[in-house]
Chain A
Amino acid sequence: MSIFVDASTKVVVQGLSPTSQGLYHALRNRAYGTQVVAGTNPKRGGEVVGGIPVFASVAEAVAETGADASFIAVPPTAAPSAILEAAEAGVPFIVCITEFTPAQDEARVFATLRRYFPGSRLLGPNCPGIISAGACNIGITSGDIALAGGPVGLVSRSGTVFYQALYELTEKGVGQTTGVGIGGDPVPGTSFVDCLGAFEADPATKAVILIGEIGGNAEEEAAEFVAAEMTKPVVAYIAGVTAPPGRKMGHAGAIVSGSKGTAAAKMAALSRAGVTVARNPTEAAEAMVEIVRELT
């Protein structure tokens, strides 16, 4: 079992061409066992690129192949329209790894999905993607760092610390259900709380690792959710414990979030919610090994 994607998920890769980043990762995703059923490119409809049939539009790809997830690895100037094209075509799960999408575009795209396409979930932008171990990998995660067979769910704001945590679990023989990289942008399509809720509802997931980082207040919201809604144990690590305060968001930002955004504040909030808080990714994995041992 897993959340959001599984072995039956069929993926369409948007903006596919022989030289695109998307092709490199799509082929790796396919080699992992993911059903990569289609690509799109308005100039290459009817072609086959890397063994993947290409359609002129997402709507066409969905109609022809039954794709129910999309993978977007296009430049930031093209990402917003690509996300909306997938939503308009009725794709229920959209993964966008694109970095440096303007915040105003993200806010507008998210508002559009919320109002007009509530059936479409966006993961990202600026995220590593999602991997349901042994079943489906969409994005840029190296498949060999995940271990199938559960029982741990993983959700992370940071990309590379996401890989690090997956890898540490795998090294220690602890399998995962699904790992979700939600990305660190100002308006992520999928939040910590969305993932925690899905993990809580997933019978195969018995415990969750949450990787946060300094800035914003997503971790504080996650802490509230854990305290109120979760029965499964949660381990957390916040990157940036020793980092100096970063660029401040001006004055209004601090008032809006009601949080100083520091690692210390986030760790305290999570700790109060009953979360086991680790000081680094290795410690987080070690704490999870203990929890899993007690569960079985």
Chain B
Amino acid sequence: MDLYEYQGKQYIARFGVPVSPGEVADTVDDAVAAAERLGFPVAIKAQVQVGGRGKAGGVKLAADRAEAETHARSILGLDIKGHVVRRLWLEQAAHIAKEHYASFTLDRSAKLHLCMLSTKGGVEIEQVAEEDPGAIARRHVDPLDGFSEADGLALAAEAGIEESERQGVADILASLYRCYVEGDADLVEVNPLVVTAAGTVLALDAKVTLDDSAGFRHPEWAEWANLDELDHRERLAREKGLQYVGLDGYVGIIANGAGLAMSTCDVVEQVGGKPANFLDIGGGASAEVMANALEVISTDEKVRSIFVNIFGGITRGEEVANGIVQALDRVEIHAPIVVRIDGTNAVEGRAILAAHESERLVSLPTMIEAARAATELAGGAPR
């Protein structure tokens, strides 16, 4: 789960990272009231999960009440790369002297955590990595050893951070590491990490990605489950606990396992069809889950056929077949369904389907044949 800036800041602040005081506002009136409480000058920032909002006019500085009103009005409703701004974050403007960059994430190759620190903050870090890779100091962190204040001081020196600022940076790195580990984040990134004119170090922006698998030990995350970034198909799928990504085609896809779901999209596209979605019903999917999946797909008006591709491991063929049959009774499904079942209890599954075979329900033995049939039933011309 990706957090918005204001959520990310609240999260890192819980672990002791200093941030500017601020408030959230969803309307111009609320924004003006918040600005007056915080005092001027105040920064007004669009809350969207996309980079480059500054350039798009999504971050403005207001010197007084009138400016706050003008800026809040111009930013709310602004479309930034397809993301419409519905929420603002207002905070006391910092007198920025310097902008650094700091992050913790996992280095999958080394199977260790990685801390990156740079004095080239405030710009996209990919650009720095490309143009001046030496400007990013890196340190691997073994989770058994952790990240100490001494590690932070050494890394700050290596990154070329001025001696007077190193303690502040090291303190923040230690807090950020705690947030990353104890807070179960996949990524914590502060860009920029600023040094104010008064010499204080604080986080001016925060990008935090939480590890959804760790939600069971963080009940407080529930308040952040932001369903508003999803389209209606994705929202319904999320509510039903399904992994769904909407695409632009007309062949609805249901498969078990992310790999097979992607592979199913690949094969449909290769035979000349267009997948309408990616939907992974996961391992051990029951009849109930299959019925839910068909229900989600059926809300997509673009879908003209549905391809159910199941290779059983934990998922058992007869449960899948039963789910499809039950769903046909329970849900209004306008599109014909092509099913391919293999693996665990495939024979039992196919027998159940055979008993219900019709022009609305076809069972085929291979992935390619089923992909062609689904494409043809959708009115396409399969290769």
Q: State the A residues within 8 Å of B (CB).
A: 21, 25, 76-77, 99-105, 107-108, 110-112, 114-115, 128, 140-142, 145, 156-164, 167, 184, 186-187, 211, 213-214, 216-218, 221, 237, 239-244, 246-247, 249-257, 279-282
- For residues 183 through 229 of chain B, which have their beta carbon under 8 Å from a beta carbon of chain A? 184, 186-187, 189, 191, 207, 209, 211-214, 216-217
Closest residue of chain A to B186 (Cβ to Cβ) is A103
| B-chain residues with CB within 8 Å of residue A107 when the two chains form the complex | 106, 111-113, 143
* Whole-angstrom distance between the Cβ of B191 and the nearest chain A Cβ: 8
Interface residues of B in 242-263 (CB under 8 A from A): 245, 247, 255-260, 262-263
Q: How far is the CA of A254 from the CA of B114 in the complex (A)?
A: 13
Which of A103, A114, A167 makes the CB contact (< 8 A) with B213? A103
Chain A residues positioned under 8 Å from B189 (CB to CB): 250-252
Do residues A186 and B283 form an inter-chain contact, with CB atoms below 8 A?
A: no
Given contacts A142-B312, A187-B108, contact A214 B343 (CB under 8 A): no
10 further A-B pairs in the complex, CB-CB below 8 A; given A142-B344, A252-B104: A108-B143, A140-B314, A158-B258, A159-B283, A160-B313, A164-B367, A187-B106, A240-B259, A242-B270, A256-B106
Number of interface residues of B (CB under 8 A): 66
Q: Say yes or no: B266 contacts A159, CB within 8 Å.
A: no
The 24 sampled A-B contact pairs (Cβ below 8 Å) are: A103-B106, A104-B214, A111-B112, A114-B111, A142-B312, A142-B343, A145-B342, A158-B263, A160-B255, A160-B311, A161-B263, A164-B263, A184-B258, A186-B108, A187-B108, A217-B109, A241-B262, A241-B269, A250-B186, A250-B187, A251-B126, A252-B114, A257-B108, A280-B266
B381 interface residue per 8 A CB criterion: no
Which residues of A are found within 8 Å of B157, using beta-carbon distances?
none
Task: Name B269's contact: one of A115, A145, A160, A242 (CB within 8 Å).
Answer: A242
User: Is A21 touching B105 in the complex (CB atoms < 8 A)?
Assistant: no
The answer to whether A213 and B313 have CB atoms under 8 Å apart is no
Interface residue? B366 (CB, 8 A): yes
Contact of A104 with B270 in the complex, beta carbons under 8 Å: no
**Distance of A211 Cα from B112 Cα, bound (Å):** 24
Q: Which residue of the partner chain A has the closest CB to B208?
A: A250
* Cross-chain contact A246 with B109 (CB below 8 angstroms): no
Nearest residue (CB) in A for B103 is A252
